Amino acid sequence: MTVPRPAARGTAVGDTHQSLRERVYVELRERIIEAGYPAGMRLVEREIADELRVSRVPVREAMQRLETEGFLSVQPRRGSVVADFGPRDAEYLFDVRENLEGLAARLAARHAGPTQLRDLERLLARARKAAESGRLREAVSLNADFHRQIVELSGNPLLVDLMAPLDSRLRRLFRLTSAQSDGEPMCGAHERLYEAVRDHDEDGAEALARAHVADTRASAARLLAAPRVEQAAETAP
């Protein structure tokens, strides 16, 4: 699955082959995921339309869609603001991921063919190289791609559809925690999962996928909670 990239700053969002409605949505979503629009920031429809050089209609539609997906929230007297992503949000995401990604890994081990496995192996090699070179942000992005590939290899269109809305939230979680994490352990976990999929070990692939989600749950929750704890300590009487 190829994730569309946001337009360069100063570039009209309409100057692409993608539909304007989708392009505006992708642009705003990517800015939230990449923390260009941080949690709590107020988004003004008119200002965004002026910056992207589009009418307010696609901006309004994109913001409504992002609100439905949990990226924006509407607050009294403030309007649309970027929603927070805290430890509880991570817990909800991990609860769903553990079950669906376990199933995806099992099905991937059952259905993956030689071509798909080669693509997956190349993706892992790129992630490993990025991690070893200290390009953590790139490694995290490639590791997120690995999760998407496993879901696609399941061969189950319904599972792909169920996981698609979670993908952006997963990428936002990785983005929020990547600066304080180590890409190499994640690469190692993915490489072990790849080996189980390659060997068509359905039980092993599912167990490894579930264990990987469980391993990252506690650390992600801790990293997300840390700034809140520090802020609370600073403001305490």
pLDDT of amino acid 177: 78
Same fold yes or no, 20-82 and 87-233: no
Strand partners, 42: 81
What CATH code would you report for 20-82?
1.10.10.10
Structure-token pair, residue 139 = 């490694």
Q: How far apart are CA 102 and CA 115, in angstroms?
A: 22
pLDDT of amino acid 186: 80
Would you kindly state where each structural domain of the chain is located, as residue ranges? 20-82, 87-233
For 201-226, what is each residue's pLDDT tens digit?
A: 999 999 999 999 988 887 787 788 77
For 24-58, what is each residue's pLDDT tens digit?
A: 999 999 999 988 999 999 999 999 999 999 999 99
Strand partners, 79: 75
pLDDT at 14 over 80: no
What CATH homologous superfamily does 87-233 map to? GntR ligand-binding domain-like (1.20.120.530)
Structure-token pair, residue 137 = 């942000």
pLDDT at 229 over 50: no
What does the DSSP 8-state code read for residue 42? Answer: B
181 φ, ψ (degrees, to nearest 5): -120, 175
Structure-token pair, residue 11 = 């570039």
10 exposure class (CB count in 10 Å sphere: 0-12, 13-18, 19+) = exposed
| Mean pLDDT along residues 105-109 | 98
pLDDT of amino acid 182: 57
